[in-house]
Chain A
């Protein structure tokens, strides 16, 4: 637990943090040195100590506070009045400013090696909402239909069952999961790599609006900051810190998503990954995580059980997230199996990977007893679209998901 060398209001604390080059370590060091020199000093005295150059007399560690940095810092003191004005405006806009010193500050961040000194929040934090816990859901931006289906499923389930979904509001898996949760009346928090008042990417405007009104949006960079590449890995550590566990839905062998998994491991959080086919690049990262010891995510129920429930003793109850099939799980050996109809053969050939009709045709005709022409085939295929078993994506056919 970090203790402040001085008692500051959150406004004063915020001011310090806004100074150029000021980070958590540096601030503490400076304040300690100041307090050593002037045990009774207060915040204003601290500022004077800095401005007047009196700090040079204190024994500052050159590593922590090198000369050049200090000079820049002192010059930055000029900008303080402007900062105070900005802060007022921010608060007027309904953006909450929460500092390390505040009660509201999420406890899970305090344990980080580099906790964000100031947080900007619109909406509600997880501990202010009636949810049991939260799970982070992250994944590839350019996801597949399979990833879309899984993310939607889990997001919806969590939303319905009082589990918050924390993510980064990025395209693809992030946004799909968050949308799914919110559309079912659940709670979601988006941690951004830009200022909380900026909606990035712009294609997620609708989600952003939902989050600021019914969920929450958070950032450690000040409002108005444009998104920058460097901010995204940083906010990933916050995503994993705030959640109880991290669920990776789809990730390539080398991807930004795996950074979040690393952060989670460093923070001692549970990591779950959704398995996938061996020839799908988007499942390579997830499968690898499972190999390295991450939990396997077979269904939302199972993930929650693993996290909060009895544990893995009753493995028969874990059913894979699957489609409703009425077929019996086994066939008695002496029962005569009738040849499958074309419709059934086609249905079995469909999967969550989009397939060209020509491809499907080639897969199915070796299995049919009679000659099936292409027109006959496509009619059956379209019948499956009619009754909801199949869906079309860019001219290809996939198995339709129940949700």
Chain B
């Protein structure tokens, strides 16, 4: 007899429905599993056979053929164990076909018949809901994740036996079982793993310049480069930046949760993700870890930082190859991974905060401590290529804080004040860009800048003087306009004044790359 049971699998960022087709016909007993499956999936044969027996059911000695459709997409992972088991039982008429209609099955089976959790549940349940399934039967531990999706019934089973019980029962029994599970979930003690205290700018003493830049960067989505001597607090400040970005919108939260789910690090006990991600990869990271990959691509670091902050400390020490990979996400806001069977796209709209020293030892231009020759400095700085720098709108130097500033506590701006400013500026941008695809000032291309950053005569005269006095390039000119636009937005002003330009120019450090020679 031939039956089909529904399941699902991940393909890059989204899930797709997989039809588990099972056929049991007379013939020499064998168990064939096909459908472009990986060896990990093939192991399902052993698990299912034993699990079904240990759950108290027999598999008749017939010729069993299982096909995972569509057969042209490669399938991986242990999540098909449950649907295959159910399919076999259905094909052997131990479960009725109607009982499984409209239900999606998902889960790994242990040899004793227990149902074990899998990764990527959130996108799968989303897809199931989208495709009109009534119910999803999944492992109990994945119930938290599944509950993040509205509009679909979930049954979080702990074993194959429970699933069969559910399927065999009437509607009222089913609802009762679902309710019981939800109740257990609610009563479970929350794991003592409290989310770490999110760093707050109130903990950072002094550093008014850096805080101001952080606000502007967060408000307009301008990528930021912090440079200065070691120990100045670059790392801490970058960490604090997540606390001043506006709270995640529903859509953003879903995206972040999906990515975390696919990576297997989604903590769904509090529902969908509430905090913006903060990723700080080491400079020895490989290009592969950045983009993600694998034959069925999983998201890499760049994507895991989506909607959050990507902090690259010791920027020039990253390999050229790795840094080049930043180009795509910085301009297109996603990462494309090409594989034989297609191009997978993961979203990667992060705010880049890069930190570096001005020279290999870090103390230039303080000649009391810096003994780097101009040649060494140039070589060090040249590791950061032009195209990446072009995308970074703001540069700010920082220095170690003096003791006097640490003593003077209680007067530092804290994150909530800063976040309010950011939200105000964001509202201005929402209004301005309503109806277009643009979201932030930081995204404006040179043509769009002409449209949205209009200068009056006075401002234009100021810009001219700045251009000459600071020997600016065209790129810096555009950067100043974008940043000035955000500075004006922070004051809820539509007009860009000369003072905004002056401030924005203060955050350009082109001259950092012009190491003084002997002229």
A→B interface (CB under 8 Å): 141-145, 148, 171-172, 175-176, 179, 203-204, 207, 279-282, 354, 356-359, 361-362, 373-375, 378-379, 381-383, 385-388, 392-396
The reply on B503 being an interface residue by CB < 8 A is yes
A selection of 20 A-B contacts at a CB cut-off of 8 Å is A142-B370, A179-B519, A203-B518, A279-B368, A356-B397, A356-B399, A357-B397, A358-B207, A358-B399, A361-B209, A362-B402, A375-B503, A379-B499, A379-B506, A382-B503, A382-B506, A393-B516, A394-B358, A395-B227, A395-B512
Q: Mark B393-405, 1 if CB is under 8 A from A, else 0.
A: 0011111001011
Q: Known interface pairs A394-B397, A395-B358. Does A361 touch B208 (Cβ–Cβ under 8 Å)?
A: yes
For B498, the closest partner residue in chain A by CB is: A379
The yes or no answer to B466 lying at the interface (CB within 8 A) is: yes
Contact surface of B with A, Cβ cutoff 8 Å: 206-212, 227-228, 358, 364-368, 370-375, 395-399, 402, 404-405, 465-466, 469-470, 487, 499, 502-503, 505-506, 509, 511-512, 516-519
Residue in B365, B470, B505, B519 whose CB lies within 8 Å of A144: B365
**Contact status A281-B509, CB under 8 Å:** no
Q: A393, B518: Cβ atoms under 8 Å?
A: no
CB neighbours of A382 from chain B (8 A): 466, 502-503, 505-506
Chain B residues whose CB sits within 8 angstroms of the CB of A144 once the complex forms:
365, 367
Describe A's contact surface by its main secondary structure.
Answer: helix
Q: CA of A144 to CA of B399 in the docked complex: distance in angstroms?
A: 18
Give CA–CA (A282, B370) in the complex, Å. Answer: 11
In contact, B374 and A280 (Cβ under 8 angstroms): no
Which residues in A have their C-beta under 8 angstroms from that of B212?
374-375, 378
Which residue of B is nearest A356, CB measured? B399
On whether A381 and B506 interact (CB within 8 A), knowing A362-B206, A374-B209, the answer reads yes
Q: Are B503 and A176 in contact (CB under 8 A)?
A: no
Q: Which residue of A lies closest to B208 (CB)?
A: A374
Interface centre among B487, B506, B518 (most CB of A within 10 A): B518
Alpha-carbon gap, A249 to B495, bound state (A): 50
A385 and B469 contacting across the interface, CB-CB below 8 Å: yes
Q: By the criterion CB–CB under 8 Å, are A392 and B518 in contact?
A: no
Q: In whole angstroms, how far apart are the Cα atoms of A56 and B67 in the complex?
A: 106
**Once the chains are docked, how many angstroms separate the CA of A396 from the CA of B511?**
10
Tell whether, in the assembled complex, residue A358 and residue B518 are in contact, meaning their CB atoms are under 8 Å apart.
Answer: no
CB-nearest residue of chain A relative to B404?
A362
A179: shortest Cβ distance to chain B, in Å? Answer: 6
State in angstroms the CA–CA spacing of A359 and B229 once bound together: 13
Residues on B with C-beta less than 8 A from A172 are: 518
A374–B207 CA distance with the chains assembled, in angstroms: 10
Q: How far is the CB of B504 from chain A (nearest CB, A)?
A: 9
A204 touches B518 (CB 8 A): yes
A281 CB, nearest partner CB in chain B, Å = 5
Nearest CB in chain B: distance from A85 CB, A:
37
Cα–Cα, bound, A373→B487 (Å):
14
**B57 CB → nearest A CB, Å:** 72
Chain A residue at minimum C-beta to C-beta distance from B517: A203
Q: A279 to B367, alpha carbons, bound, how many Å?
A: 11
Q: Are B368 and A354 in contact (CB under 8 A)?
A: no
Q: How far is the CA of A359 from the CA of B405 in the complex (A)?
A: 11
A199 to chain B, nearest CB (A): 13
Residue from the list A207, A379, A394 in contact with B502, Cβ < 8 A: A379
Given A145-B365, A378-B503, 9 further pairs, Cβ under 8 A:
A142-B372, A172-B518, A281-B367, A356-B399, A374-B211, A375-B487, A382-B466, A386-B466, A395-B395
- Picked from A148, A279, A375, A396, the residue with its CB within 8 Å of the CB of B397 is A396
Chain B residue numbers with a CB within 8 Å of A145 are 365, 516
Assuming the contacts A143-B367, A358-B399, A392-B511, asked whether A378 and B374 have C-beta atoms less than 8 A apart, the reply is: no
Q: Which of B375, B399, B506 lies at the interface centre, i.e. has the most chain A CB atoms within 10 A of its CB?
A: B506
- Of A176, A280, A358, chain B has the most CB atoms within 10 Å of the CB of A358
- Chain B residues with CB under 8 Å of A385's CB are 469-470, 505
Please report the C-alpha to C-alpha distance between residue A379 and residue B484 in the assembled complex, in whole angstroms: 12
Q: What's the minimum C-beta distance from B367 to chain A, rounded to whole angstroms? A: 4
Shortest distance from the beta carbon of B337 to any chain A beta carbon, whole Å:
37
Asked whether, in the complex, the Cβ of B367 is within 8 Å of the Cβ of A358, the reply is: no
Contact A393 B365 (CB under 8 A): yes
* A379 close to B509 (CB less than 8 A): no
In the bound complex, residues from chain B placing their C-beta under 8 Å from that of A203 are: 374-375, 517-518
Closest B residue, CB atoms, query A173: B518
Chain B contacts for A354, CB-based, 8 A:
365-366
